[in-house]
Amino acid sequence: MKLPATRRDCISIPLFCMIVLMFVAPQIACGKFPSDSTPGKGLVEQHPADQPSIKTPAGYMVAYSDTIPGTSVAFEMVPIPGGKFLIGSAANEAERGEDEGPQVEIHLPPMWVAKHEVTWAEYRQYMELCNVFEKFDDAGIRQIMDTNEIDAITAPSKLYEPSFTFSVGEGPRHPAVSMSQYAAKQYTKWLSLLTGRFYRLPTEAEWEYACRAGTNTAYGFGDDPADLAAYAWYYDNADDETHPVGGKKPNAWGLHDMHGNASEWVLDAYDAQRYAQLATSQETISSEAAFFDNKTLFPRVLRGGSWNLDPPDCRSATRRQSNDDEWRSYDPNSPTSPWWFASDESQDVGFRIVRPLETPTRTVCENFWGTDIASVLRVVNKRIDEEGRGERGIVDDNLPAAIKSMESK
């Protein structure tokens, strides 16, 4: 069975209206997502006196820890208040990039943001699904059918050369790196279907808003790059490798590693003139209107500094472009992997996740988790169907028990 393209239920709606639906559509679940048993994770009814909180009509948003079902691996989510901010750099900011202006005011609703980047301990659980789905196929169980294909994901192919991928750090608390944006998005689908909570990559505006944490300076801590070492692993102090997440100071909203360790995938496509396009509006731009996706494979946007970048490239507003052709140039496979990059330049590429306060419809969730880029779909299908590299499988709340049962045989 071929990987289905993203459903196009909104194809007749103008693009702007469709993007609005992607962000603010009401919650309508398909199958078992979102889980009826855990809809209130991170929300409490009464104002908590012992921790920071954000008041919303749904309750008080608080920080929480979520455990990947079937494992002992947990990750932490931090509540971020809604508000307005100026995306991009001020005209007088030192080292300002040509693609960082003019500044535009963006309004964002509240959300939860991961305390730090996704770690190898977390990402390896997703990587292991390639072996798991192979065994399910051999046993003829949990097969993909028309009735459940919406719950299917692709698991990344096994690493061709693990020593290369892990050469900049493979500890369980190190940020996972070298994955494609497509793989990162499939990870968020897997995590969402397992937990019953909607996780996805942040948009570019969401990422910068969270990084700034209410500031308008070059970095979330101020303008002086001499202070960067207290907050980030970057070229001057990282010794050419990643480091355990959370080892440096957080920003004012409790988020670690925003200015270093690994650069992070966001959802947007890259356009050097994007802010100039947005600036034609005389009003504050909504988060959904600021989101940009032109359905091209590259360039896509990465945000945040990394162990391999200099201080100017670690600023809150710095925009980095993906270069898929270059990053896959050393891949010995044909076609090259849709899940992994195989170049030195991609070994500082990771991601973190967000969870919006409001969960959209399941069909809309698929737009954030998958891809409708034809070239990606062709390569995924060829790699899995013709070459046996990578796998597809169903993710639901029965998956952990199925894995445990298989391992006990």
Residue 8, pLDDT above cutoff 90: no
Domain containing 181 equals: 34-407
Q: How confident is the model at residue 46 (pLDDT cuts 50, 70, 90)?
A: very high
Given this model, what pLDDT does residue 32 score?
Answer: 55
What is the Cα Rg of the chain in Å?
A: 20
What is the per-residue burial (b if ≥16 Cβ within 10 Å, else e) of 23-45? bebeeeeeeebbbeeeeebbbee
Cβ proximity of 175 and 245 under 8 Å: yes
- DSSP 8-class letter at 384: I
Residue 50, pLDDT above cutoff 50: yes
Query: Would residue 397 count as lying in a domain?
Result: yes
Element (DSSP H or E) covering residue 87: strand 83-87
Q: 316-327 pLDDT, tens per residue?
A: 999 999 988 889
Q: How confident is the model at residue 107 (pLDDT cuts 50, 70, 90)?
A: very high
10 versus 283: the higher-pLDDT residue is: 283
Query: Would residue 6 count as lying in a domain?
Result: no
Query: What CATH number does the domain containing 219 carry?
Result: 3.90.1580.10
Query: Would residue 210 count as lying in a domain?
Result: yes
Q: What is the DSSP string of 258-296?
A: SSSSSEEEEEEEP-TTHHHHHTT-SSPEEHHHH----S-
Query: Would residue 23 count as lying in a domain?
Result: no
Query: Would residue 8 count as lying in a domain?
Result: no
Measure the CA angle with vertex 286, ends 193 and 66; round to 5°.
25
Given this model, what pLDDT does residue 148 score?
Answer: 96
CA distance 317 to 208: 7
Query: Would residue 22 count as lying in a domain?
Result: no
Q: What predicted TM-score, i.e. pTM, was given to this entire model? A: 0.92
Residue 221, pLDDT above cutoff 60: yes
Q: How confident is the model at residue 286 (pLDDT cuts 50, 70, 90)?
A: very high
Percent with pLDDT over 70 in the chain: 90
Percent with pLDDT over 90 in the chain: 83
Q: How confident is the model at residue 335 (pLDDT cuts 50, 70, 90)?
A: confident
Query: Would residue 374 count as lying in a domain?
Result: yes
Query: Would residue 7 count as lying in a domain?
Result: no
Residue 302, pLDDT above cutoff 80: yes
> Structurally, how many domains does the chain consist of?
1
Q: 366-405 pLDDT, tens per residue?
A: 999 999 899 999 999 999 999 999 999 999 999 999 999 9
